[in-house]
Amino acid sequence: MKTVYDGYISKHINRRLSEPIARLLAKSSVTPNQMTWAAFGVALLAFISFIFGQNIVAGLLVQLSSIVDGIDGSLARLKGMTSEFGGFLDSVLDR
């Protein structure tokens, strides 16, 4: 596993929100891949918001997408569901 270095926003905002959410979701039937798709969906909403000139909404959605994207990896580790496919899916949809 490669070492990941978080930036300031990721460390002090995103992870502080995504980790507790992942712990709550670990008790549910939600899968890490579902969270990956959810982050992608929020990112698409951000894109659409930018297209329609809703820049503040779009910026908030981009930040939310980043937080949701952090949940998938944490959830995979907590549930013991890490997989090569999940990592691939996450990296493709992150683009």
Kindly report, residue by residue over 49-69, the tens digit of the pLDDT: 999 999 999 999 999 999 999
- Active-site positions read 94
pTM for the full predicted model = 0.85
Grouped pLDDT means (10 residues each) for the chain, 95 residues: 71 90 95 95 97 98 94 92 88 85
Q: How far apart are CA 43 and CA 94, in angstroms?
A: 9
Q: Which helix (H) or strand (E) holds 28?
A: none
Q: Are 45 and 61 in contact (CB under 8 A)?
A: yes
Three-class secondary structure of residue 17 per DSSP: helix
CA 13 to each of CA 8, 20, 70: distance values in angstroms, whole numbers, following the listed order: 8, 12, 11
Residue 90: CA count within 13 A, CB half-sphere: 23
Task: Report the pLDDT value the prediction gives residue 47, as an integer from 0 to 100.
Answer: 97
Task: Report the pLDDT value the prediction gives residue 94, as an integer from 0 to 100.
Answer: 81
Running DSSP on this structure, what letter comes out for residue 29?
A: S
CA 90 to each of CA 49, 50, 56, 72, 84: distance values in angstroms, whole numbers, following the listed order: 23, 23, 26, 8, 10
